[in-house]
Structures are given as C-alpha cells and as structure tokens.
Amino acid sequence: MSEQATAEESAVPMPRLGVQAVLRTDVGLVRSENQDFGTYTTPREESQSHPGGRLLVVADGMGGHRGGATASRLAGETIKAQYLGSETYDISQALREALTRANARIFTEAQANPDLRGMGTTTSALVVKNNQAWFAHVGDSRIYLVRGDEIRQITEDHSLVASMVREGLLTPKEAETHPRRNVLQRSMGVGEDVEIDISGPFDIHENDVFVLCSDGLHGLVKEPELKEIAALPIDQAATEYVRLALSRGAPDNVTVIVAKVVRIGDGADETVIDADETLADHPLDETQRDTAPIVAITDEAAEAEAAQPSEEASSILDDTVKSPVRQLEKTVETPMAAQPKPRGSFLKWALIWIVIIGGAAGAWLYWNHQQGVAATTSSHAR
C-alpha cells in the first residue's frame, strides 16, 4: 500500500515555478556616491536567450571616486548582455563565460584609464530556471536562501577574515569586528584572470526566497533578521532591509535584490514580474532618513528597453558587449540615488545681506569720521 502511494506521489507532476524579484539600492548615510549596482533580466529578454531563466546580479565596486561605480556597473551590464547573447544552453557555462568576459572588460578599462587603475568589484549572480537554480560568485557580496524557518548563505565570502574563520583562526563573532574584515582575496577586474565560484543546478521550492546583497546590508543586518524580514511581501521586505541598514548608520552603500519563487499557471511566463506592486518605487519619507530616497528599477523602464525588434535587439546587445565603455560614458556620472538638496541658496543670500549691511555700516562710520575731521579743521582754522 505504501509503495503504491509512493508511486502515485512520484507520478504527480511538479508545479511550474517562476520568480518575482525587486531591487532596492541606496547611497547610505556616509558615502557621497553609490558604487553598488544591481540588475536582472525581464521575461521578454529571457525569451530571446539560449540559456534563458531569470538572471539576477548584485555588484559592489571599489577603487577610487569613479572606479568603484564604473567597475560595478560594467560588471552588471556586461554579465547581463553576455549571458543573454550566449550561444550555449548550459547555464553554468553561460555564467562562467559572462563573469569571465566582465572581468576582462573591467581590467582592460582600468589599464587604459589611469583614473580607474586598480578598480574592481564583487559580483554575485543567480539564475533560476525550470525549478532549479545556479549561481556564480566572486568577492563578499552574498546570496542567501530562505526556506521555511531556515536561512542559509549559499555563497562563500572571498575575504581575509572569512578565510581565517574557515581555518579556525577566528570565530565568526570575532570576524564581525576584525580591523581587516573588508580586505578581499578575490575580486573582479583586478587581474587579467579571476577564479569564479560556480554552483548548480540545485532544486528550488515554492515560496523559497533568495536575498542577493552587498556588504552594506549583511554587515549591519544579521541572518535572524534577514530571515524574519524575508517573510514579508518582497517589495516590503526589500524596503525594510534598506530602512534597517539606514537606521544603523549605513556607512556603506546598501543594495539588495529579493526574489521569491512562486507557482505559475499554464501558459504563463516561466519567470514573473508583478509590474504594479513588486517593482513599485516606495521611497522612505524624510522623517525616516536624512538622505536620498531609495531607488527601485521599474518594470516599465525595463520592458521599454527590451521592446525592440529582434534584429535591433541583437545589434544593441552586440554594442553593449563589444563597447561597454561607450555605455558607461552615459551612466557612470549619473548618481544612482538623488542627493539631498543643497543649502547653497540660503547661504548665498545670507552672505549678500551681510555684505550689504556691512557696507552700509562702513559708509556711515566713514561719513561720520569725515564730518568730525571737517569740524576739527574748521575749529583750528578759527
């Protein structure tokens, strides 16, 4: 009887699973520039791709005022373009080729431009397709998997303190406050070649939640809190993650993608985006933060960019892969989050009035002085 029941259960088809995803990024409360970058593919883009599936990428740049922002954006845009344009159906291979290409692009640009010399970035990329997932990873950004009451970091930090923890030289608690906790042993674009962690495929379950984030989040918000917040609707969860980091000082940029595995009906896209709610921009009001509102990537913008004829789309894809530097000229100088409004106007007018009042007072004193001199002269003359 039990064998028959087991056979019947195994014969039941698995539900088709898709992914809903939302991105939030914030400059934080200390940095003047957002050097993080996040992106993901849309169903329309995926439908024209050989490997397919939902691709999600978070990168955290480093290397000077311009270098970090350039490296992270170049990583995200090149990985996305290379993955979508890949000729292979093997997702692991497509991911490896995409990160390898991005590493070469960052390194080449750094060598060609003295202002960008030494720039690099972390990169964490996740693909979900056909009820399975794969990831590629370099650096100390992280991917967490929240399943039921458990949370697990599925990537491995490529940092000095993480290596010391693995070797038993530090405890995880000691690593959190170690003075060299930000030293990376592996990053994208610093050398001509980079070792890339590739993992997958592994099975996913309905209601699984993936959290991809930079260390601006996981350095301040620990796993029990990440797990608790992941139970919220994903747009609320993403906003709450950033809000919590800001409430704790946010000394670094904060970027997070929250992706939930959902059941999809027959005939629906294998990967799902809820354009009305999931990707809605929910900025924090001024009572909750002192700097700029959270920036979300909206589905309307992504769909508009993707809605090109197939030949034109192929041309755009080729240009992005072959000439990422040209793409960067238009994007790197634009801040990822609006900056606070300057108080220069108030100060300017205050200084003007001070000058006017000071000048008037000086003129009055000079006039009185001259009158006194004239009176004295007249009296001597008499």
Q: How far apart are CA 59 and CA 156, in angstroms?
A: 15
Q: How confident is the model at residue 370 (pLDDT cuts 50, 70, 90)?
A: low
Query: If you average pLDDT over residues 364-373, what whole number do you get?
Result: 55
Contacts of 72 (CB under 8 A, 6+ apart): 35, 36, 37, 59, 60, 61, 121
Of the candidates 127, 77, 78, the residue with the CA atom closest to the CA atom of residue 257: 127
Q: CATH for 13-331?
A: 3.60.40.10
């606070």: which residue's tokens?
Answer: 340
Mean pLDDT comparison of 17-21, 167-171, 341-345, highest-scoring range? 17-21
Whole-number pLDDT of residue 367:
57
* DSSP 3-state of 302: helix
Query: If you average pLDDT over residues 364-381, what whole number do you get?
Result: 48
pLDDT tens, residue by residue, 72-99: 999 999 999 999 999 999 999 999 999 9
Q: How confident is the model at residue 366 (pLDDT cuts 50, 70, 90)?
A: low
- For 21-49, b/e burial (b = at least 16 CB within 10 A) is bbbbbbbbbebebbbbbbbbbbbebbeeb
* Residue 205: pLDDT over 60: yes
Whole-number pLDDT of residue 249:
97
Phi/psi of residue 378, nearest 5 degrees: -65, -40
């458990």: which residue's tokens?
Answer: 150
Q: How confident is the model at residue 285 (pLDDT cuts 50, 70, 90)?
A: very low
Q: How far apart are CA 265 and CA 153, in angstroms?
A: 30
pLDDT tens, residue by residue, 147-172: 999 999 999 999 888 888 888 888 88
Query: If you average pLDDT over residues 56-71, what whole number do you get?
Result: 91
Whole-number pLDDT of residue 264:
84
Q: How far apart are CA 53 and CA 113, in angstroms?
A: 35
Task: Return the minimum-mean-pLDDT range out of 169-173, 188-192, 287-291.
Answer: 287-291
Cα of 1 vs its chain's centroid, Å: 53
**Every domain of the chain and the residues it spans:** 13-331, 344-382
* Residue 199: pLDDT over 60: yes
Continuous H helices in the chain? 2-11, 43-47, 64-84, 91-112, 160-166, 172-177, 215-218, 223-229, 234-247, 299-306, 310-322, 324-331, 344-381
* Residue 118: pLDDT over 80: yes
Whole-number pLDDT of residue 181:
76
* Residue 380: pLDDT over 50: no
Q: How confident is the model at residue 340 (pLDDT cuts 50, 70, 90)?
A: very low
Q: Which residue has the higher pLDDT, 317 or 106?
A: 106
Whole-number pLDDT of residue 362:
63
How many Cα atoms sit within 13 Å of 179 on the Cβ side? 0
Joined together, the tokens standing for residue 143 give 């991917």
pLDDT tens, residue by residue, 222-270: 999 999 999 999 999 999 999 999 999 999 999 999 999 999 875 444 5
Query: Percent of the chain having pLDDT more than 90?
Result: 55
Whole-number pLDDT of residue 30:
96
pLDDT tens, residue by residue, 298-308: 333 333 333 33
Is residue 369 within 8 A of residue 361, CB to CB? The reply is no
Is residue 260 within 8 A of residue 209, CB to CB? The reply is yes
Phi/psi of residue 154, nearest 5 degrees: -95, -15
């409360």: which residue's tokens?
Answer: 29
Q: Which residue has the higher pLDDT, 38 or 343?
A: 38
Whole-number pLDDT of residue 314:
36
Q: Which residue has the higher pLDDT, 209 or 333?
A: 209
